[in-house]
Amino acid sequence: MNVPEMFGSMVFNDQVMREMLPKKVYQSLNHTMIEGRALDEDVADIVAAAMKEWAVSKGATHFTHWFQPMTGITAEKHDSFLTVDKAGCVIMDFSGKELTKGEPDASSFPSGGLRATFEARGYTAWDPTSYAFIKDDTLCIPTAFCSYTGQILDKKTPLLRSMDAVSNEAVRALALFGKHVKRVNATIGAEQEYFLIDKSDYAKRLDLKLTGRTLVGAAAAKGQEMEDHYFGSIRPRVKAFMADLDEELWKLGITAKTEHNEVAPCQHEMAPIFDNANKATDANQLTMEIMKKVAERHGFACLLHEKPFAGINGSGKHNNWALSTDTGENLLDPGKTPEDNAQFLLFLTAVIKAVDEYQDLLRISVANAGNDHRLGANEAPPAIVSMFVGDKLNAIIESIVEGKPFKDKSSSSHLDIGTSVLPKLALDNSDRNRTSPFAFTGNKFEFRMPGSSFNIACTNVMLNTAVADALKDFCDELERAADFNAALNALIRRELEQHRRILFNGNGYSKEWEQEAERRGLSNYKRTPDALVHYCDEKNVALFGRHKVYTREEMESRLEISLDEYQKAIHIEAVTMSEMLRRQILPACLRFSAALASAVQCKEGIGVSAVADRALCAKVSALCDELLRKIDALDSCVAQSPAETEQAAFYAADTIIPAMEDARRLSDSLETCTDKSFWPVPTYSDILFYT
């Protein structure tokens, strides 16, 4: 296999553009892409013609505007290149207009009340900063999705806006250090966790098919306690899947790099090489889609839900984040020289301030029904946002705040911002705190709260904008300063002192931390609706308004969509659970108890002891009686759900979820005492320990 040749072969990338476009057109497009400038309109026709020629040569017959509506998944509507010319001949055609603008009938996408039905049509606009690619014989053009009145209806547009915001302010900040760059990009590496299970098991479970997770299921005799799956040797079937996945991703220009087993049985991870936030987000959306498709081919179902199985780890998506200049400098790299140290400390301080001031937004960006099973449940980071910077950096921060010279045991260097060299910071794993939700890992931050099924755009919108805001404040102050060094020292010290409460190096899973965090005034929103209702807090509306990322109306619509999505997810789970219990599990247990009852009768009729049959029959029957009561209770809970969205969301969390937990407990008890041949669905042992 010639990987370099295969890599990106289905992408209309820089190399293809350079080859196929006239020099002037290429340069114009390139400026747009590198500097995030607006696209020159007459360039579009020429680019479209080249794109079509390239796509047709690769066997494509259709094109689609590929966009990311608020559903969290990607959407596409295919049109063929086919046109009939004046002479009545069929030709393949693709115009600049078709490339740059689409008008999908998008009335069925969630808009949170932004779009009245009379103007239901939205439009999609080409995003030339992410490459077009071919998937399933279709040329896919990454696009933004807006309403006719210009309000945003997707996840990409705010991401692009937040990238501009953080770039503008970071460029300003660098100028203070005498560095003049044109653009600073947020860079993202998204590590994707997933489960692979046998397709035939999946097909037999209504809960997996409709909700993505198992709603009932007693624990298998073995879980993850032996710690033998993490980085363990990979099943040949899974290895074949991974090889195939790599190939598919590479063709699409996605830099799949690391593949390994994760902690839970059947759990795996794929990490690509990082890229700018926009491309990394598109790549991750595509990765999730391709994972599911490739899994099918290998007789697997790929589960991207945050918590497919109770009692073992769920899946997350670590969002590695840094800032990088167009000249290739990583602004979160501590560097080797004093000048870089001061600059690094300013950016580090900006991130600390951003995470502290907008901890609620970060929590909100990872809130959904699935992730509520992870956050705070002793496996993933807790629901409290805090930062881990490592012992050494922590000591440096403390010495700055306390105004004492920093004494590094290993090098005994003194630290006075901007005048001496920072000690070398450990880049290795040993220094990492695995329980921290937001950890500095040498030259980037790793945000570990996002769930595996999330579109990472939202998290990065929050992060980029919050950091942009901190940098803006810093620049406003420092640009006015008479003595830059003195002002810089004072600012860093003051801000670190003010925001150090967000730093925490201990065990994030412990009860003590919850209490300590409360003392520090950090927020702890345990469930999705608890977090979501803070989205439109005045300070958040003001933040996004200042940086032109969202208007108030756009935020209100997003809040409505998220609350609605949450309550619908729980509703679907409850109804699915009820159906499985009523129509599969309870009847199976009743059949089993009836068989036992007949056995008791037969055996006693011939004078044989039936003590075990009788005891088991009584136990199963009693549990069945109780289960039926719980199913009835669950159904009546669901029926009483309020109509208003926010009320429905809280009702789901307060009332429906506990009713589901009650019913599950009984079903799982029944499972442990029912003859397996009667059990109607594959069990945890069947699913997790397939061969």
Give the number of other CB atoms < 10 A from CB of residue 388. Answer: 25
- Amino acid code (one letter) for 115: R
Q: Least CB distance from residue 189 to Mg ion, whole Å?
A: 9
- Amino acid code (one letter) for 11: V
Using rule CB under 5 A, residue 317 touches Mg ion: no
Contact mark string toward Mg ion, 460..489, x via CB under 5 A: ------------------------------
The closest alpha carbon to 554, from 103, 58, 155, belongs to 155
Give the number of other CB atoms < 10 A from CB of residue 271. Answer: 18
Using rule CB under 6 A, residue 188 touches ligand ADP: yes
Residues 390-429 that bind ligand ADP (CB under 6 A): 429
Residues 424-453 that bind Mg ion (CB under 5 A): none
Residues 550-569 that bind Mg ion (CB under 5 A): none
Q: Are 34 and 326 in contact (CB under 8 A)?
A: yes
Q: Least CB distance from residue 386 to Mg ion, whole Å?
A: 17
- Amino acid code (one letter) for 110: P
Which of helix, strand or coil describes residue 74?
coil
Which is it for strands 138-147 and 62-66: parallel, antiparallel or unpaired?
parallel
Question: By CB under 6 A, which span of 64-72, 268-276, 482-490, 650-658 interacts with ligand ADP?
Answer: 268-276
Question: By CB under 6 A, which span of 28-36, 130-138, 294-302, 438-446 interacts with ligand ADP?
Answer: 438-446
Residue number, 134 or 449, with CB nearest to ligand ADP: 449
Contact mark string toward ligand ADP, 136..175, x via CB under 6 A: ----------------------------------------
Compute the distance between CA of residue 574 and CA of residue 657 in angstroms, rounded to an integer. 8
The DSSP code sequence of 422-484 is PPPPP-SGGG--TT-SEEE-SSSEEE---BTT--THHHHHHHHHHHHHHHHHHHHHHHH-SSH
Q: Least CB distance from residue 238 to ligand ADP, whole Å?
A: 17
Q: Least CB distance from residue 326 to ligand ADP, whole Å?
A: 14
Compute the distance between CA of residue 491 and CA of residue 470 in angstroms, rounded to an integer. 12
Task: Quote the tokens at residue 454.
Answer: 């999330």
Cα angle 676-674-669, degrees, rounded to a multiple of 5: 120
Pick one of 318, 373, 527, 664: the residue that binds Mg ion (CB under 5 A).
318
Compute the distance between CA of residue 55 and CA of residue 292 in angstroms, rounded to an integer. 24
Q: Are 272 and 257 in contact (CB under 8 A)?
A: yes
Question: By CB under 6 A, which span of 159-167, 182-190, 283-291, 683-691 interacts with ligand ADP?
Answer: 182-190
The closest alpha carbon to 429, from 234, 231, 246, belongs to 231
Q: Are 304 and 440 in contact (CB under 8 A)?
A: no
Q: Least CB distance from residue 339 to ligand ADP, whole Å?
A: 20
Which of helix, strand or coil describes residue 474?
helix
Q: What are phi and psi of 446, to 5 degrees?
A: -115, 110
Compute the distance between CA of residue 515 and CA of residue 609 in angstroms, rounded to an integer. 58
Which of helix, strand or coil describes residue 188?
strand
Residues linked to residue 593 through DSSP beta bridges, in sequence order = none
- Residue that the structure tokens 């019913």 belong to: 663
Q: Least CB distance from residue 241 to Mg ion, whole Å?
A: 21
Q: Are 673 and 619 in contact (CB under 8 A)?
A: yes
Pick one of 34, 73, 116, 273: the residue that binds ligand ADP (CB under 6 A).
273
Q: How many residues would you count in the chain?
A: 691
Contact mark string toward ligand ADP, 217..236, x via CB under 6 A: --------------------
Question: By CB under 6 A, which span of 29-37, 186-194, 242-250, 382-390 interacts with ligand ADP?
Answer: 186-194
Compute the distance between CA of residue 471 and CA of residue 492 in angstroms, rounded to an integer. 12
Pick one of 330, 641, 647, 669: the residue that binds ligand ADP (CB under 6 A).
330
Question: By CB under 6 A, which span of 33-41, 270-278, 564-572, 626-634 interacts with ligand ADP?
Answer: 270-278
Q: Least CB distance from residue 365 to Mg ion, whole Å?
A: 18
Pick one of 100, 162, 285, 320: the residue that binds ligand ADP (CB under 6 A).
320
Compute the distance between CA of residue 613 and CA of residue 618 in angstroms, rounded to an integer. 8
Residue number, 443 or 669, with CB nearest to ligand ADP: 443
Question: By CB under 6 A, which span of 20-28, 230-238, 272-280, 295-303 interacts with ligand ADP?
Answer: 272-280
Residue number, 65 or 318, with CB nearest to Mg ion: 318
Compute the distance between CA of residue 589 and CA of residue 595 in angstroms, rounded to an integer. 10
Q: Are 455 and 366 in contact (CB under 8 A)?
A: no
Pick one of 27, 258, 337, 485: the residue that binds ligand ADP (CB under 6 A).
258
Helix (H) or strand (E) holding 66: strand 62-66
Which is it for strands 184-198 and 300-303: parallel, antiparallel or unpaired?
antiparallel
Q: Least CB distance from residue 282 to ligand ADP, whole Å?
A: 15
Using rule CB under 6 A, residue 529 touches ligand ADP: no
Q: Least CB distance from residue 477 to ligand ADP, whole Å?
A: 27
Residue number, 191 or 495, with CB nearest to Mg ion: 191
Q: Least CB distance from residue 37 to Mg ion, whole Å?
A: 34
Q: Are 270 and 256 in contact (CB under 8 A)?
A: yes
Question: By CB under 6 A, which span of 21-29, 174-182, 441-449, 527-535 interacts with ligand ADP?
Answer: 441-449
Q: Which of ligand ADP, Mg ion, none lies near 264, with the C-beta cut-off 5 to 8 A by kind?
A: none
Which residues of the chain form contacts with Mg ion (CB under 5 A)? Answer: 191, 318
Which residues of the chain form contacts with ligand ADP (CB under 6 A)? Answer: 187-189, 191, 258, 271-274, 318, 320-322, 330, 429, 443-444, 446
